[in-house]
Amino acid sequence: MTQTLRLGIAGLGTVGASVLRMVARRAEALEAATGRTIAVTAVSARDRGRDRGVDLSGLHWFDDPVDLARSGEIDVFVELVGGSDGAAKQAVEAALGAGKHVVTANKALLAHHGAALARMAEEHGVALAYEASVAGGIPVIKAIREGLSGNAISRVYGILNGTCNYILSRMEAEGLTFEACLKDAQALGYAEADPTFDVEGFDTAHKLAILTSLAFGVEIDAEGVSVEGISAIQPLDLTMADELGYRIKLLGVAQQTAAGIEQRVHPTMVPKASAIAQVMGVTNAVTVDADAVGELTLIGPGAGGAATASAVVADITDVALGLARPTFGQPVPRLASPRRVEMQRHEGGYYIRLTVHDRTGVAAGVATRMAEANISIESIVQRRSAKAASSDPQGLSGQPVPLVLITYAATEGNVREALAAIDRDGLLAEAPQLIRIERE
């Protein structure tokens, strides 16, 4: 009889408890698929007394996840602790060093230490599996690493944070402010008490760094990701996007260019007709542009206990089948050093909202500065309230009003240069809003 594959789970939060339930519920199906019994034999968490809604009797309890990782009672260490350092890193290193397979959902750990951990896994002949680290239940890691191995990928981008997508969806649908939507997201459990990691784009950046490595065969370069969040987005921006045929999404974008690899996270205008624009609420989506298949979009639940557990159990199944592939698609020594492309060199269309003083000649002054920076304007819209227009039809009040521009393709450096010149001219009443446009 084939030996049982023994699992040790560190971290018994929502995901860990869901993995326990799923392994038990799907025991017969997993055995039929892999030819061996898969069972949880040991666990580790901070609080023994907490009611997690699962039966822990019969399981060996470890107070220290590092001790669990080294234990002779397990074959696979499932790390669901979280965090880029501390207990999570120490335990994963201990497991790999002891010749244990590792399954993790920890994007921060991989983004910062992925290459070193992958090297350890390869040296010890074990798997380091991480499907659950990006886009929850969407099998995007396997899709890129295995399903698209015959393709040359030119771009991968997506909605990788459900909290941000929920907030932007509510703002658009109901005309609410960012602050009001964030408060609701926190009440519903979609956002943390300190939401900075999500809403300022850092969570998306970690996930994007992992996808970049897989898509382009390069070492993970989390420090090379340019990051902007959604906290500055205002209802007017979503209204203008709608009128112009776009929706605003927080996207992570990795793109191969002649100069190197762009990695950027920022609010983005996407055409309303595109597949990714239809993704609302807490749902995630990833689009891959490849030479053989063209454009491929995967959409599904990006978080939650059941969805994330689905990805964790998929990795456990691969381990049971003996499918220990190179962590990032090829052995670590063969991964190339990425050539960073700074945001100043990014080229594309831009939505620019300027709050300007409502007086004659302002629009002309803005257009002149844009032209001097070699930026062509596709459209320009000045928004004055009905009251202001009726009381001051010639626009001589000097009150702040929004002026919205859509540009044709321009470099980030030129756009920033033009905005600096407009500011020096004294035309701006407040800082400009700049949102990049991602056209298909």
**Cα 327 to Cα 127: distance, rounded to the nearest angstrom:** 7
Residue 128: beta bridge partners? 102
DSSP run (H or E) holding 389: helix 386-391
Please give the single-letter amino acid code of residue 97: G
CB 145 within 8 A of CB 329: yes
**Cα 117 to Cα 123: distance, rounded to the nearest angstrom:** 10
Which pair of tokens denotes residue 285? Answer: 């989506």
Q: How far apart are the first and last CA of the chain?
A: 54
**Cα 116 to Cα 105: distance, rounded to the nearest angstrom:** 17
**Cα 438 to Cα 440: distance, rounded to the nearest angstrom:** 7
Number of helices (H), then strands (E), in the chain: 15, 17
What count of other Cβ atoms lies within 10 Å of the Cβ of residue 347? 13
Write down the residue that tokens 């063969």 correspond to: 334
| Whole-number CA gyration radius for the chain | 25
**Cα 306 to Cα 424: distance, rounded to the nearest angstrom:** 53
Please give the single-letter amino acid code of residue 363: A
Residue 367: beta bridge partners? none
What count of other Cβ atoms lies within 10 Å of the Cβ of residue 22? 18
207 tagged catalytic:
yes
Cα 171 → chain centroid? 20
Q: Where in 86-200 does DSSP place strands (E)?
A: 101-104, 128-129, 153-159
127: left (phi over 0), alpha (psi -120 to 50) or beta: beta
**Cα 55 to Cα 117: distance, rounded to the nearest angstrom:** 32
Q: Which of 107, 142, 207, 249 is catalytic?
A: 207
Catalytic residues: 207
